[in-house]
Structure 1
Amino acid sequence: MSFFSYLSHLYLLALLVFFKCMFPFADSATLSIETDKEALILFKSQISQQSLNPLSSWDQNSSPCNWTGVSCNSHRVVGLNLPSLGLDGSISPHIGNLSFLRSLQLQNNKLTGTLPYQICNLFRLRILNISSNSLQGLIPSNMSRLAELRVLDLSMNKITGKIPEELSFLTKLQVLNFGRNLFSGGIPSSIGNISSLEDLIVGTNTLSGPIPSDLSRLQNLKVLDLTINNLTGTVPSTIYNMSSLVYLALASNQLWGKIPFDVGEKLPNLLGFNFCFNKFTGTIPGSLHNLTNIQIIRMAYNLLEGTVPPGLGNLPFLEMYNIGFNKIVSSGDNGLGFITSLTNSTRLKFLAFDGNLLQGIIPESIGNLSKVLQKLYMGGNNFYGTIPASIGNLSSLTLLNLSYNAITGEIPVEIGKLENLQMLGLAGNRIFGRIPDSLGNLQKLNKIDLSGNELVGGISTAFGNLHSVLSLDLSNNKLNGSIPKEVLNLPSLTTIFNLSNNFLSGNLPQEIGSLESIVAIDLSNNRLSGNIPNMIKNCKSLEELYIARNTFSGPIPGTLGEVKGLGTLDLSYNNLSGFIPPDLQKLQALESLNLAFNNLEGIVPCGGVFTNLSRVQLEGNPKLSLKIGCGNAQDHRRKPVKVYVSVGVAVMATLVVFFSIGSLFYMKRRRKIPDSSNFIKEQHQMVSYHNLRQATGNFNEENLIGNGSFGSVYKGCLGDGSVVAIKVLDIKQIGFQKSFLAECEALRNVRHRNLVKLITSCSSVDLKNKEFLALVYEFLGNGSLDDWVKGKRKKGNGEGLNLVQRLNVAIDVASVMDYLHHDCEVPVVHCDLKPSNILLDEDLTAKVGDFGLARLLIEKVGDQTSISSTHVLKGSVGYIPPEYGLGVKPSTAGDTYSFGVLLLELFTGKSPTDDTLMGEQNLVGWVQSAFPSRLLQVLDPELLLLMDNLFHDGRNINPEVQQECVITILGIGLSCTMNSPDSRISIRYALHKLKAARNNLLNHVPTHQASKY
């Protein structure tokens, strides 16, 4: 073979080898793209097919590189990006066959199931984003195989378990976002090894334990978000050395200790700072105000003290400044001077310093704040003076809350310039004058609360222009005139319409029916007259209707039976006549019906709410008859029995007379209470000594259920079968007559669901011809709160009261005390508030009783309401405020002190007279010494045990969240028990804070306002 022939063969052989090499490559490419195609088809098969199928382009006969959301390089699928397409289904494990995939983005869909472990076969993956879905289960344990991963975002799912330690092997990771899931356990310290990490977001989980100090090794970290977990301990000081941090968020944990004073110097690049909802103490670090580029500062809901440090004028880029609900103080007329400093922050959108101890006059410079300011929270402080007219310059405001201060003067007409305002809160101040017509210019307003002021005049017809208003509360003022029809022609009014406790008169217009979507209407305690309009039937969404204490006349409209969702109906204390409409029986949702003290007649219906007369109040209607055997449909021989019951009647017509001439009437002496006509307003059930003796088995000790300050209390059964509690006064006690009169007078004109109902009284002589005085109350089967606190009573499962139940009791008591102090025609001071005077019904609703020391308040002294008498009252040891011992007259502030002690006792289980409280240390001082860092040492041990397994609406409430709630509650108790009456919060503010604490506990969502309803 010649050389050329050999070379020719060699060339042909090389060419053949070349083609043999080429064909297998082509085969491999073809098979690979087919493998990707098959994996995608299997992925699609687990996605629910919809009428508008976003994957309709995924045709098996076409190349996957042309499909929606699929991207390829020359021969393989490298990207699957299908965000926000509404995909519904699960992630196929065959997705792990897309071995060249670099980007997988399925965020903001409706995917369920677990994250398949085959996803960890995608070792080329750089971006994995499956956030905002409904994935469950654990993170695959082999996630460390994704060595090329830069972004791992699984936020806003329902993933459980612990954060894997193996994530530390993802050495190229820049973004780790596990926020808003259900992760538990601690934060792995090994995360500190991911030196490339820039964003670490694990907020809104149930992580616990301390913050690892190893996180400080993340020197490239810009965002650290650990908010809304159960992290404990102090913040490691090394964290503040992460000089690259731009955003630091540790809100809503159990962190405590002081915020370093030099935090602003150590984190010079900080733009956002969020430490809300923790237990941080000390003062606001002044160095934060040196961060000239800072945009967000949030430290609300902590225990920070001191004043607002200077330097706020150095923050030109500040957008949010929130220091609300701390213990920040200021004093003097210039106490709010820091507002002037903020006028340099021209980007400020959110400003909140509500719920503090700030004092001073709102400066005129408030009108110079940022033109883009949208939300301004200033409520719950001690501001005084007037609202500056310059506030009308804040043209971008959507929320203005100045509620619960001591602001006086009139509402400036300039508020009407705030055209973007959506919420206006001025409640609980001392604002007087008329409501300006200019408020009618606020076309975007959806909530307005002017309650609890001293506003006068009529309701402006300009309110009829508020076409976006959802809630309108003008209660507890001095408004007069009629209800304008224009206000009732607001279809947007859908939540609250409250005009109660004013002096409104005239008829209720038929236009009330225009409020078709309203949920709650309260017109009680006015001077409204005429008939109740039939058109109220059009209020189809109505759940609560209160029109008590007016002078409505005529029949109860039967059309109320068409309001199917009605749950509470109170028509008491009017002049209504005629029969009870049978259609009220059709209201299946009706839980509470109060028709007391009208002129109703006829037979009480049998069905619906009337099947359980404990939910119906009919007293004060002497012509009403109740059918015997109402529940038996076959009983056609029902006999009428008169219902003669009165609540709060002070003295019976049969009271003994001529007290001063007992020698002439020794055998049958009678005493008459002076001016009895003022007490007796309605005929009521008459009971004699003989009736009560029979009811109690001759006052058998087996029926003795307690001893009060002025007598014994027996359980009894009256002749009509009703079970009652009979308080027999001890005539040997000094002042027993005053106790009797005080209790009658205090309860004569009051009505509240949390008051023990007084049914009647008895004044007679016993078998030995000795004077006999007794008060007959409703019987509450769950005993006194004192029995529950001391462990003498338990629930059916052997447990005591859990946190929610104790908090509900506290709110019940605060509600009725707020009513007695602020909402009665003549304020009432109880003077002996303690657990033994609080009774619980079958539903554990608390009711306050024993008004034997109560006094009516008839004059104002400074800021405190006080009685005119010089008679100094005594309460019970441990609950008496210190000023009473110095001869100070009883006041509402005194009741607040007693309530504070009661609150501390309810949650610690320790009585103020406990033997362990030795020497000068009392219950208040004992709690104060442990508050807040050693809180667990003072809590009731039984309450602590129940915290481990507390559920609400089927959802477990985290024990740490409960502990945060208890800190708030005990803080309220301590604020109620300050030595100086002027330093105590009012019972109304305590009630407001307790309701907010309950909202936060049950929803774990911070709220700035608590609704009356």
Structure 2
Amino acid sequence: MILFSHLLVHFASVLILLSLELHNFSIGESAVTLSITTDREALISFKSQLSNDTLNHLSSWNQNLSPCNWTGVLCDRLGQRVTGLDLSGLGLSGHLSPYIGNLSSLHSLQLQNNQFTGMIPDQIGNLFSLRILNMSSNMLEGKLPSNITHLNELQVLDLSSNRFVSKIPEDISNLEKLEVLKLGRNNFYGAIPASLGNISSLRNISFGTNSLTGWIPSDLGRLHDLIELDLTFNNLNGTVPPVIYNLSSLVNLALASNSLWGEIPKDLSHKFTKLVVFNICFNNFTGGIPGSLHNLTNIQVIRLASNHLEGTVPPGLGNLPFLRMYNIRHNRIVSSGVRGLDFITSLTNSTLLNFLAIDNNMLEGVIPQTIGNLSKNLSILYMGQNHFKGSIPSSIGHLSGLKLLNLSYNSISGEIPHELGQLQELQELSLAGNEISGDIPNSLGNLLKLNHIDLSRNRLMGGIPTSFGNLQNLLCMDLSSNQLNGSIPMEILNLPTLSNFLNLSMNFLSGPIPQIGRLSSVAIIDFSSNQLYGGIPSSLSNCLSLEKLLLARNQLSGPIPKALGDVKGLETLDLSSNQLSGNIPTEIQNLHGLKLLNLSYNDLEGGIPNDGVFQNLSAVHLEGNRNLCLHFYCLPHGNGSINIRLYIIIIGIMVTLILYLTIRILLHIKNKKAKVAAATSEQLKPHASMISYDELRMATEEFSQEKLLGVGSFGSVYKGHLSGGTTVAVKVLDTLRTGSLKSFFAECEALKNSRHRNLVKLITSEIAVVHCDLKPNNILLNEDMTAKVGDFGLARLLIQGSTNLVSINSTHVLAGSLGYIAPEYGWGEKVSSAGDVYSFGIVLLELLSGKSPTDECFTGGLSIRRWVQSASKDKTVQIVDPQLLSPIFHDEPFEGPNAQLNCVHAIVGIALSCTAENPDERIGIRDAVRQLKAVRDSLSKLSAETLTPALETLG
């Protein structure tokens, strides 16, 4: 009986337990259903924020189906929770829904290569299980969510190629499991957090193409598993911490396009045993190329371009079987002795080499025939701007994979080897600026893929090969400044792809200009300074994209074709120094974009049109045409120069009388107004507000170093905030410095009443002002990035002289700062507005190039202006600060036409016009501003995706 009771109790316990298990199962099933439902609702909300025209890829996202069956959705094994969302590359657009934070079991979120906009929602911080977060290659913007550093399980964070404007969070070290951190191609600013060195698991750091500043933290040297460190295209400075060179795990070290300096360690091969990529281009590294670099047998890419490296190319290049790129261009590398170019021969062991750039150094000697033994994969060969001599090795014709060959601006002589015609893949051939003689070989017409040929500035003779008509992919041709003769082949005027320029100027070409065939896309035609005769072909009107037509200094005759009026895009038309006759076609005045018309020194006659470009006298040159009529009186065509002179004298007297009476009337009106204004001037005069020293001290936080804007010759300038909210610049004089008070009074006098959006605002002044010390240190930026010119301590006041504005200062003391001072001041000329224009041009060149005019590279008569001027238009990118062009600039060629780069060309032209040696040849500041505004307007039409922020500020 007792035993039965025990069995009964046990059975009851089993029933209770079974009941509880069933109850728990029911509760669990309900919980699972709730969770998958929550995930479904979160995904539907995510979909609702997308643009309708991109939803076709998500047609399977049907509420009647389980989310586990939807496109891009991954679930756990039991189908109970969504653990992954991969929508990469679907072209989706729209905003990210905050409901994405409800996917609490999500391990992987991959939304890269879409068109998402807006900000990352803060709810992303709720995904505590997230291990992979990839939102690269979108259009996301704003700051990073502050709680993104709470995702403690995160292993991959890739936000590259977006529009984030943010600092890298200092507490990013909270992501202790992070292995990959990619933030490149954004607008991240500020310093690289030293705390990154605490994330021992980091294997990849990619911060390239941002606006990061400061030094590279030495703490990164603790990341012993780091494989990639990419800090290219930033504003980093200082030296590379030595501990970085001790990271033996590194495979890719890319520090290009910063302001780093120092020498490269000589013992790299003992530390970087795994290194594949070594890229330090566009910095300020000095010293020599370390020989140990050539002992890294696994290395594939060596990029040392655009630094200040000196010495010779060390031996050992023959030890690099996997080398693909060797780029030491734009340095100061020399070659010495008869074996100074043996390194070229050594590279024949690198059978994978496809990029070799040694141009713009100080290499000399004869190019060895062994160059033809280089890799058949070699596609890019830059050797220009050195001191090579001798002839072009015929063996270059063996480099069958070559796409670019540049030997320009050396001292190469001899003839062009016909073997170059074997380079069937060649797209760019540049031999300009040498001493090459002989005929142009017909074999060059075999280069069917050629799109750029530049043989200018040589001693080439003979005719232009008719075989050039085979070059059906040609974009530009420059054969100028040679000794070519014969006629212009009709074949080259039938190249439909020729769109950039056709330059045959400064040769001995003769005969008539053939009828233009299919050059409908060409922008520039320059046949000037030849011996061409006959008429100007009316078929030039077929060149619908023509911007410049230059036919000056020939023997052309006959009338100017009326058909030129149909070339609506024409900006420059130079037909000067020919034998043209007849009237000026009135159709020319319909060319509304025409900026320069030069018809001087011809035999033109009749009336001069009144509209269009003819309304701008400075843009039209008609001198040397004796039979042209004046605007309001046509001179007789009879003999007797006395009558002509009489008419001119009479007209001159009439004009003088009219001007005299007009001036007297204007002066009378002005004096009358002045008397009326004087009576009330005291009542209307603004009173200067007085600011106490205590207010200034509080505004500048006790003149703290954090508020220091800069230090000048006579004192320091601090940033301050007055109690009313006004932001001011406070100048503190060093009264112990001789001339400080004089400088202060001069500055006050110069700015008393000057008013301009780009001048710091003071209270009183009235006469024209020359700044005399315009330089970057004297230009401030306010909160909306508007430039404010300050520090008028060296300013001069101008008065109206008999002919122009002159300084009221009688002395000829040099005024300005080294590198920015106008050259005429050194000749004893008085200060003038042209001097400020020169300084402005130098500042513009410094902004574009990133180089100070006092940079140590500008020696031996080379100035920043001459350096920039020496670069031809297609090489402008080599002198422009790469950080201005970071989204579009690469070492590699073949980038194609670029509208942004055209704007850069325009700005370079403006800067050079401002810095002409002769002050009379400089453009006025108003013209400079007008042209810059035109560039700004061009930029505003470009896609926001490709705009460079630094260029935007030029507007």
**Counterparts of residues 993-1012 of structure 1 (less than 5 Å):** 996-998=878-880, 1003=885, 1005=889
From 510, 513, 532, give the equivalent of 1:508.
513
Structure 1: distance between partners of 2:172 and 2:821:
44
2:522 matched residue in structure 1: 518
Change (3 A) 1:450 1:914: closer
* Contact 1:248–1:274 under 8 Å retained in 2: yes
Structure 2: distance between partners of 1:1000 and 1:792:
38
Deviations 1:385-405 (A, max 9, x none): 000000001111111110111
Does 1:174 pair with 2:60? Answer: no
Does 1:76 pair with 2:81? Answer: yes
1:607 matched residue in structure 2: 611
Change (3 A) 1:942 1:248: farther
2:20 matched residue in structure 1: 17
* Contact 1:801–1:943 under 8 Å retained in 2: no
Structure 1: distance between partners of 2:455 and 2:822:
39
Letter in 2 for 1:971: C
* Contact 2:233–2:883 under 8 Å retained in 1: no
Structure 2: distance between partners of 1:995 and 1:370:
28
* Contact 2:165–2:186 under 8 Å retained in 1: yes
Deviations 1:277-304 (A, max 9, x none): 0111111111101111111111100011
Structure 2: distance between partners of 1:801 and 1:537:
49
Structure 1 unmatched ranges of 5 or more: 629-638, 644-652, 655-681, 699-790, 807-876, 879-900, 916-939, 979-983
Change (3 A) 1:944 1:280: farther
* Contact 2:774–2:816 under 8 Å retained in 1: no
From 548, 552, 568, give the equivalent of 2:556.
552
* Contact 2:453–2:478 under 8 Å retained in 1: yes
1:253 matched residue in structure 2: 258
* Contact 2:524–2:547 under 8 Å retained in 1: yes
Change (3 A) 1:946 1:548: closer
Structure 2: distance between partners of 1:109 and 1:1007:
27
Structure 2: distance between partners of 1:153 and 1:48:
24
Change (3 A) 1:52 1:433: farther
Q: TM-score, normalised by structure 2?
A: 0.72
After alignment, is 791-800 or 228-237 more displaced?
A: 791-800
* Contact 1:147–1:169 under 8 Å retained in 2: yes
Letter in 2 for 1:1003: L
Letter in 2 for 1:562: D
Does 1:56 pair with 2:69? Answer: no
Q: TM-score, normalised by structure 1?
A: 0.68
* Contact 1:532–1:552 under 8 Å retained in 2: yes
Deviations 1:782-815 (A, max 9, x none): xxxxxxxxx99999755679779x9xxxxxxxxx
Change (3 A) 1:305 1:201: same
Structure 2: distance between partners of 1:248 and 1:685:
78
Change (3 A) 1:912 1:993: farther
Alpha-carbon shift at residue 459 of structure 1 (Å): 0.6
Alpha-carbon shift at residue 12 of structure 1 (Å): 3.3
Change (3 A) 1:1001 1:229: closer
Alpha-carbon shift at residue 906 of structure 1 (Å): 4.4
1:585 alignment partner, SS class: helix
1:411 matched residue in structure 2: 416
Alpha-carbon shift at residue 527 of structure 1 (Å): 1.4
Q: Tell me the C-alpha RMSD between the 2 structures.
A: 3.9
2:340 matched residue in structure 1: 335
Structure 2: distance between partners of 1:344 and 1:48:
55
Alpha-carbon shift at residue 477 of structure 1 (Å): 0.8
From 935, 944, 965, give the equivalent of 2:851.
965
From 198, 214, 223, give the equivalent of 1:218.
223
* Contact 2:414–2:436 under 8 Å retained in 1: yes
**Counterparts of residues 654-673 of structure 1 (less than 5 Å):** none
Does 1:145 pair with 2:150? Answer: yes
Does 1:577 pair with 2:581? Answer: yes
2:91 matched residue in structure 1: 86
Structure 1: distance between partners of 2:188 and 2:429:
39
Alpha-carbon shift at residue 19 of structure 1 (Å): 1.9
1:104 alignment partner, SS class: strand
Structure 2: distance between partners of 1:15 and 1:967:
89
1:277 alignment partner, SS class: coil
1:597 matched residue in structure 2: 601
1:469 alignment partner, SS class: coil
Deviations 1:216-260 (A, max 9, x none): 000100111111111111111111111111111111111111111
Alpha-carbon shift at residue 427 of structure 1 (Å): 0.6
Structure 2: distance between partners of 1:274 and 1:68:
41
Does 1:531 pair with 2:535? Answer: yes
Change (3 A) 1:902 1:620: farther
Structure 2: distance between partners of 1:380 and 1:327:
11
**Counterparts of residues 903-922 of structure 1 (less than 5 Å):** 906-907=819-820
Structure 2: distance between partners of 1:374 and 1:330:
24
Deviations 1:456-505 (A, max 9, x none): 11110111111111111111111111111111111111111111111111
2:391 alignment partner, SS class: coil
1:28 matched residue in structure 2: 31
From 284, 287, 291, give the equivalent of 2:292.
287
Alpha-carbon shift at residue 687 of structure 1 (Å): 9.5
* Contact 2:367–2:392 under 8 Å retained in 1: yes
* Contact 1:154–1:179 under 8 Å retained in 2: yes
Alpha-carbon shift at residue 123 of structure 1 (Å): 1.1
Structure 2: distance between partners of 1:987 and 1:15:
92
Number of equivalences: 740
Letter in 2 for 1:964: G
**Counterparts of residues 398-477 of structure 1 (less than 5 Å):** 398-477=403-482
**Counterparts of residues 263-282 of structure 1 (less than 5 Å):** 263-282=268-287
* Contact 2:54–2:92 under 8 Å retained in 1: no
Letter in 2 for 1:42: S
1:360 alignment partner, SS class: strand
Structure 2: distance between partners of 1:464 and 1:18:
89
Does 1:620 pair with 2:506? Answer: no
1:233 matched residue in structure 2: 238
Alpha-carbon shift at residue 591 of structure 1 (Å): 1.6
Letter in 2 for 1:907: Y
Change (3 A) 1:989 1:247: same
Structure 2 unmatched ranges of 5 or more: 661-748, 760-770, 779-811, 829-834, 894-900, 907-955
Alpha-carbon shift at residue 14 of structure 1 (Å): 2.5
Alpha-carbon shift at residue 48 of structure 1 (Å): 0.8
**Counterparts of residues 518-917 of structure 1 (less than 5 Å):** 518-628=522-632, 639-640=633-634, 797=758, 906-907=819-820
From 350, 359, 366, give the equivalent of 2:355.
350
Structure 2: distance between partners of 1:258 and 1:534:
62
Structure 2: distance between partners of 1:216 and 1:11:
63
Alpha-carbon shift at residue 3 of structure 1 (Å): 4.8
Does 1:976 pair with 2:830? Answer: no
Letter in 1 for 2:340: G
* Contact 2:772–2:836 under 8 Å retained in 1: no
2:468 alignment partner, SS class: helix
* Contact 1:421–1:444 under 8 Å retained in 2: yes
From 159, 164, 179, give the equivalent of 1:159.
164
Structure 1: distance between partners of 2:839 and 2:586:
49
Letter in 1 for 2:38: T
Alpha-carbon shift at residue 584 of structure 1 (Å): 1.9
Letter in 1 for 2:275: L
* Contact 1:283–1:307 under 8 Å retained in 2: yes
From 96, 104, 108, give the equivalent of 2:101.
96
Does 1:499 pair with 2:504? Answer: yes
Structure 2: distance between partners of 1:87 and 1:427:
49
Letter in 1 for 2:31: S
Overall identity of the aligned pairs, in %: 54
2:114 matched residue in structure 1: 109
Alpha-carbon shift at residue 314 of structure 1 (Å): 1.1
* Contact 1:143–1:166 under 8 Å retained in 2: no
Change (3 A) 1:467 1:538: same
Letter in 1 for 2:584: I
Structure 2: distance between partners of 1:321 and 1:683:
71
Structure 2: distance between partners of 1:568 and 1:941:
29
Change (3 A) 1:468 1:572: same
Letter in 2 for 1:569: L
Alpha-carbon shift at residue 540 of structure 1 (Å): 1.2
